[in-house]
Amino acid sequence: LHFWHSEVLQQSSGLDDLGGMHWGMFAAFTASWLLVYFCVFNGIKTSGKVVYVTATLPYIALVVFFFRAVTLPNAGQGARFLLTPDLSQLMNGRVWMRAVTQIFYSLGVAFGSLTAFASYGSKHSNFPRDATAVSFINCGTSIFAGFVVFPILGYLAHELSKVNPCIRGDDLAGLSSVGLSGTGLAFVAFPIAIGHMPGGFFWALVFFVMLLCL
């Protein structure tokens, strides 16, 4: 957690402390935007081919992670945590705000790129059907990803309970007490869990490729 906040994010104390130039992050952003440029610079001719890779590889990675996740110790506890609702949270406005943020971001509602790419579609296409299919595929992917993430979190809770008395293997809520929530799930919790898996380098490579495609 210290490395994530201090070395990667380099968070300052506030707006009055702008901090210095993060050259590593600058190089990463430059490389990322160059990749995006080479994917779209020739319009649909290049992006149409690239999407075959960037759209399918994350699903392949999710399937691979799913079969690995469900075989980990305490994976069942993670799945139970996902499937057990806490109805009291329905009265929490922050939950609804995060849900709206997630669905708007994942669907890309009002994103200019969607409008631009849609302009290449045939005028005879059934747009209501396509929009409905995309919505169901998007939500279905999120549910499936939950069955990938939570078994791994169950395994992580099981491992951390051996060294941290504040965390219990049968209660994943304890992970939030050590900062493993939000972006920490992707960039802190997953690397920790992957580091404890046999063949960790392979799983780390799969995870990195998945994030790169996304």
From CA 154, how far away is CA 196, in angstroms rounded?
13
- Bin 45: left if φ > 0, else alpha if -120 < ψ < 50, else beta: alpha
Q: What is the pLDDT of residue 28?
A: 84
From CA 119, how far away is CA 10, in angstroms rounded?
41
| 190, 207 Cβ separation under 8 angstroms | yes
Q: 51-61: per-residue pLDDT in tens?
A: 788 788 888 88
- Helices 200-213 and 44-69: crossing angle, nearest 10°? 140
From CA 184, how far away is CA 73, in angstroms rounded?
22
Q: What is the pLDDT of residue 183?
A: 59
Q: What is the pLDDT of residue 185?
A: 65
Q: What is the pLDDT of residue 156?
A: 80
Computed on alpha carbons and rounded to an integer, the radius of gyration of the chain in Å comes to 20
- Bin 88: left if φ > 0, else alpha if -120 < ψ < 50, else beta: alpha
168: β partners: 171
C-alpha 141: how far from chain center = 11
From CA 39, how far away is CA 117, in angstroms rounded?
13
Of 94, 79, 90, residue with least CA distance to 145: 79
Q: What is the pLDDT of residue 30?
A: 92
Ranges of the chain whose pLDDT falls below 70: 1-9, 11, 110, 112-113, 165-166, 169, 174-186, 188-189, 193, 196
**What are the CA-CA distances from residue 49 to residues 156, 157, 163 (Å)?**
38, 41, 48
Residue that has been written with the tokens 């139970």 in this structure? 80
From CA 69, how far away is CA 201, in angstroms rounded?
16
The string over 163-193, giving b where at least 16 C-beta atoms fall within 10 Å of a residue's C-beta and e elsewhere, is eeeebebeebebbeeeebeeebbeebbbbeb
- State residue 108 phi and psi, 5-degree precision: 70, 35
Spatial neighbors of 39 by CB under 8 A, at least 6 apart, are 46, 47, 50, 54
What predicted TM-score, i.e. pTM, was given to this entire model? 0.75
Q: 81-110: per-residue pLDDT in tens?
A: 888 888 888 888 888 988 888 888 777 776
